[in-house]
Amino acid sequence: MADLIKSVPVIVFGFFLIFTIKDLFVSHWNAEASNKDIPVTNLGSSKFMGPTLKILYCYSCGYRNAYEQYADMLNKRYPDLIVEGGLYPPSTYNSILAKILNIGKMLVISAILFDMDISRYLGRMASSWYWCRTNKIYSCALIFFICNFIEGNLISTGAFEITFNDVPVWSKIETGRIPQPPELFQIIERQMQFIEKTFEMKPEISFYE
């Protein structure tokens, strides 16, 4: 029975370690795979030099579904339009902070589960550390979920950024919302009209000067 009690911290640590590895590697792999799996809709490749609409979105916000719905809708309405999608990366600063927080989380959880006494380094926080050591499972779960929440907010960009031929035409970061379909249609049609007028005004090049 005593051996079983002693093994509880190791089991709990293993549980949190598995979830942390999942967050670090599996989620990252899923995001990368998701980015690679995003099709260039309709024409299949920008090498055809058609008008191109690119949407970069926040993966952790669940905007991939919104992208796919918009891509399908635009495909049907504008057969000659190339629609590309991709992930909008968080800032380098936020990414580094999230990784540091993740490592710190595991170090603190390890120290609690293996009953490491670091209270002499904590000063006024010594009583809090004693409480964490006394309530190992509860304190570890609390630290784990709070840190995960903060990490999620650090890497969440809330982005749904749209460019037309590499020209920014909509930013959710600036406007605070995703464009309604009629708004996006109007933007695309305005850009296409501008391209048509540009080609009409461009003088023909003569090769017989």
Handedness of CA 193, 195, 201, 206 (dihedral sign): negative
What is the per-residue burial (b if ≥16 Cβ within 10 Å, else e) of 70-99? bbeebeeebeebbbbbbbbbbeeebeebbe
Determine the CATH number of domain 43-81+157-209. 3.40.30.10
Q: Take residue 12 and report the two structure tokens written for it.
A: 């709990």
**Strand arrangement of the beta sheet that strand 82-87 belongs to:** 82-87, 52-57, 160-164, 167-171
Euclidean distance between CA atoms 111 and 4, whole angstroms: 20
Q: What is the predicted pLDDT for the residue at 205? A: 45
Q: What is the predicted pLDDT for the residue at 128? A: 84
Q: What is the predicted pLDDT for the residue at 46? A: 43
Q: What is the predicted pLDDT for the residue at 105? A: 95
Q: What is the predicted pLDDT for the residue at 140? A: 94
Q: What is the predicted pLDDT for the residue at 26? A: 47
Q: What is the predicted pLDDT for the residue at 11? A: 55
| Residue 185 CB-density burial (10 A; 0-12 exposed, 13-18 middle, 19+ buried) | middle
Q: What is the pLDDT along the chain (209 residues), one digit of tens a residue?
A: 444 444 555 555 555 555 555 555 444 545 554 555 545 444 344 444 578 999 999 988 889 999 999 999 999 999 989 999 999 999 999 999 999 999 999 999 999 998 888 777 777 778 888 898 889 999 999 999 999 999 989 999 999 999 999 999 999 999 999 999 999 999 999 998 887 777 666 555 444 44
Q: What is the predicted pLDDT for the residue at 16? A: 53
Euclidean distance between CA atoms 184 and 194, whole angstroms: 15
Q: Are strands 52-57 and 82-87 parallel, antiparallel or unpaired?
A: parallel
Q: Are strands 52-57 and 167-171 parallel, antiparallel or unpaired?
A: unpaired
Q: How far is CA 148 from CA 31, 79, 87, 154, in A?
A: 17, 43, 21, 10
Domain residue ranges in the chain: 1-37+90-153, 43-81+157-209
Instruction: Give alpha helix (H) positions in the chain.
Output: 2-21, 27-37, 64-77, 92-113, 126-134, 136-155, 172-175, 181-201
Q: Which residues contact 83 (CB under 8 A, 6 or more apart)?
A: 40, 41, 42, 52, 53, 54, 55, 70, 71, 74, 75
